[in-house]
Structure 1
Amino acid sequence: MEEIVRSDALARVHIALDYFDASLNRIGAWVTGARSTLKALLAALLEPRSRLREAEDRNDFFSRLALQEEAKLLPLGAVWDYHCLTAGVSAGDDWIDVVRGYETEVLSKRK
């Protein structure tokens, strides 16, 4: 995701998901994979892209590395939770109970 965002290619790239684990419920695996993909994209979007690019253009690879390390501590979790809440979906690990409820109410009735 970082390379897609850093190269300003979001409009030109299609991101596909393929999360299947026979030992897991497909819905749970799909939701986990989709949320993980979105979190990776969000983390890439939170990077200080212009500062990283400026450092690279100056061949200042120390600054680029330091900025990348600092970006790891950006408030991804708070931004993610806000995104989830404004989108009307569960934040934190509350979504696990939503998936379990779906398994109980919908999937268990299928034959």
Structure 2
Amino acid sequence: MSYAYEGLATVGVLALYRGQPANKLTTLKLNIRVRNVDPKRFRIEFDRYLQGPKEANAVQVVLPGGLLLQGPIVDGSNQPDGGWLLIDVEQYELPSEPPANLNGWKWE
């Protein structure tokens, strides 16, 4: 089976629980391999231990070009020499520029 993507990506590992603030640890320039398991499920493989918050339950992967894969962790393994995560995802294209009309909202 071939990979849908192989190369560097930004990977955020999150602990998201109702009633608690989100906890996220991001790894920049992580060498990954993404494999399509089925239309809404991906397997992300990596070659080193992936840092994340205790009791992480979700992941975000930003690929070069702005494709964002994110979703809950279904299964996985994280060892000192690498591992994998199986996630249910929805794909999003990140915009290259902010929208023209933000109705007065801006990042402070």
So what's the TM-score if we normalise by structure 2?
0.25
With the length of structure 1 as denominator, give the TM-score of the two structures. 0.25
Which structure has more strand as a fraction of its residues?
Answer: 2
Q: Which has the higher contact order (CA 8 A, sep 6+)?
A: 2
